A and B are shown apart, each in its own frame.
Chain A
């Protein structure tokens, strides 16, 4: 069984990439494949609390985060230096990695997919 990392790097509101990446992660987990997530770039916006997008703006993917543990998706990584995140209420299920840990993370998986 291969351990998979899904790397979300797209804004949750500018395209479907973030949603379809999360959908893929949920399907992998449903088929009992070990899967972790990592977020960078515009995808970090998914972590901000109190999002209330309209239908035209896109789905509220933030709401999916609390359900990840029920799929046994328990490792969601971001890089520690995103200090702006600490200035606002954000989802607490993330694990912070320093730069070296972030860089070595990618080689610890047999498969990495980017969305």
Chain B
């Protein structure tokens, strides 16, 4: 069985990103191919902000998700509309909006909600963390 994770809770106002991280570690530990992708929507897209600097004595959630993506080749998608309105911008969006900087962290990618629909139709189950 393959899962897709939909995370909608803010990394700062909820434990959604933390709980999903624990779930994905447990799932991958037991079934290495059990996760097809992770889609971040609503305030959860703030996880992909490369300029956020958490205090050194706190968990770096963005780094933790990047480690998962790197080690297990799991794609991390951010909803492009939700991300851009919150200032999470990749290079091409930065050019489109004529900005001088981009803020999207490595291993995250901006995708439309159509990608989530595709994940819904190609995995057995979607689990929402909010």
Contact = CB atoms under 8 A, between A and B. Distances in A.
A20 B41 contact: yes
Contact of A27 (B42, B117, B126): B117
Q: Chain A binding site: helix, strand, loop or mixed by DSSP? A: mixed
B84 interface: no
Interface string B107-130: 000001110110011000010101
A63 to B, nearest CB: 19
A4 B125 CA distance: 12
Interface size class of A (residues with CB under 8 A): 10 to 19
Interface in A1-23: 1-2, 4, 16-17, 20, 23
B117 A1 contact: no
A5 to B, nearest CB: 12
A75 interface: no
Interface string A8-45: 00000000110010011001100101000000000000
Interface of B: 6, 8, 41-43, 81-82, 112-114, 116-117, 120-121, 126, 128, 130
